[in-house]
Amino acid sequence: MVYNPALAPLTREEIETVVSLVKSRSLIDDTGWFETITLDEPEPGPTNNDRNAYVCCYERSSNTTFQGLVSLSKNSVEEWRNVPGVQARIVPDEFTYAQEIAKADPDFQAACAKRGITDLSDLLVEAWAAGNFGVEEEEGERIAFGHCWLQNDAGDNPYGRPVANLHPVVDLRRGKLIRIDDYGVVPIPPDTKSISKQTTARQDLKELNIIQPDGPSFEVDGQEVRWQKWHVQVGFDLREGLVLHNIGYEDQGTLRPIMRRASMAEMVVPYGDPTGGNFRRNAFDTGEYGIGQATSPLTLGCDCLGHIYYFDLWSHDWNGEPVFVKNAVCMHEEDYGMLWKYTDPRRDQSSVTRSRRLVISSVATIGNYIYGFFWYFYQDGTIGTEVKATGVPLPSAIEQGRTPEYGTLVAPGIDSHIHQHVFSFRFDMAVDGTKNSLAEMNFEAVPWDDKNPHGNAILTKQTIFETEQEAQREMNLPSARYWKVINENKLNGLGQPTGYKLVPGTNALPFLHPDSPVGKRAGFMFKHLWCTPYEKNERFPAGWFPNQHAGGDGLPSWTEANRSIRNEDIVVWYTMNYHHLPRPEDWPVQPTVYAGFHWMPFGFFDENPAMDVPVSGGHAASVCCE
Q: What is the pLDDT of residue 345?
A: 84
Amino acid sitting at position 515: D
The Cα–Cα gap between 528 and 578 comes to 12
User: Can 3 be counted among the known catalytic residues?
Assistant: no
Distance, CA of 601 to CA of 616 (rounded, Å): 26
pLDDT, residue 54, reads 98
In single-letter form, the type of residue at position 337 comes to G
pLDDT at 619: 43
Which pLDDT value is given to residue 199?
Answer: 77
Burial (0-12, 13-18, 19+ Cβ within 10 Å), 460: exposed
pLDDT along the chain (626 residues), means of 10: 86 98 97 98 76 97 98 96 96 95 98 97 96 96 98 96 98 97 97 88 88 94 96 98 98 96 98 96 96 95 90 97 98 94 83 93 96 98 98 96 96 97 98 98 96 96 98 97 98 98 97 97 98 97 97 97 98 98 97 98 97 63 45
Check residue 346 and give its pLDDT. Answer: 86
Burial class (CB in 10 A: 0-12, 13-18, 19+), 43: exposed
- Looking at residue 212, its pLDDT comes to 92
Interatomic CA distance for residues 10 and 37, integer angstroms: 9
Task: Please state whether 184 falls in left (phi above 0), alpha (psi between -120 and 50) or beta.
Answer: left
- Please tell me the distance from the alpha carbon of residue 189 to that of residue 399, in angstroms, as a whole number: 9
Select which of 289, 369, 500, 534 is catalytic: 369
**Distances from the Cα of 169 to the Cαs of 145, 181, 187, 399, in angstroms?**
5, 7, 22, 24
The pLDDT value given to residue 622? 47
> What span, in angstroms and rounded, lies between the C-alpha atoms of 275 and 278?
6
Residue 369 appears among annotated catalytic residues? yes
Catalytic residue among 285, 415, 428, 553: 285
* Pairwise CA distance, residues 366 & 77, whole Å: 32
DSSP conformation letters of 416-461? EE-EEEEEEEEEEE-TTSS-BEEEEEEEEEPPSSTTSTTS--EEEE
Do residues 479 and 438 make contact, with C-beta atoms less than 8 angstroms apart? no
- pLDDT score at 615: 62
pLDDT given at position 617 = 43
Cβ neighbours of 169 (radius 10 Å): 22
Whole-number Å distance between alpha carbons of 547 and 518: 11
